[in-house]
Amino acid sequence: MFTIGDFARLGRVSVRMLRHYDGIGLLRPAAVDPHTGYRFYRAEQLRRLNRVIALKELGLTLGQVRAILDDTVEVAELRGMLRLRRSELEAQLAADTARLAGVEARLRMIETEGRMTSQDVVLKELPAVRVAELTGVARSYETPEISTVIQPLYPELFRRLDAAGVAPAGPGLAWYEPAGEGETVVVHAGVTVAAGPSTARDFAVVDLPPVPTAATIIHHGPMDEVGRSMQALASWLEANGWRADGYARELYLDYCPDDPAQGVTEIQLPVVARSRE
Instruction: Quote helix, strand, coil % in the chain, to nearest 5.
Output: 45, 25, 30
**Residue 224: closest CA among 92, 90, 94, 100:** 100
List the pLDDT tens digit at each of the 277 positions of the chain: 899 999 999 888 899 999 999 999 999 999 999 999 999 999 999 988 988 888 887 788 898 888 888 876 676 777 787 788 788 888 878 777 766 766 665 565 555 555 444 458 999 999 999 999 999 999 888 777 888 899 899 999 999 999 999 999 999 999 998 887 778 999 999 999 998 888 889 999 999 999 999 999 999 888 877 877 888 888 889 889 999 998 899 999 888 878 888 889 999 999 999 865 4
In this predicted structure, what is the pLDDT of residue 107?
A: 63
At 118, give phi and psi (nearest 5°).
-110, 15
Maximum separation of any 2 CA atoms in the chain, in Å: 90
In this predicted structure, what is the pLDDT of residue 79?
A: 77
Instruction: List domains and CATH numbers for the chain.
Output: 2-73 (1.10.1660.10), 122-276 (3.20.80.10)
The answer to whether 268 touches 251, Cβ cutoff 8 Å, is yes
Q: CA–CA separation, 39 vs 19, rounded Å?
A: 9
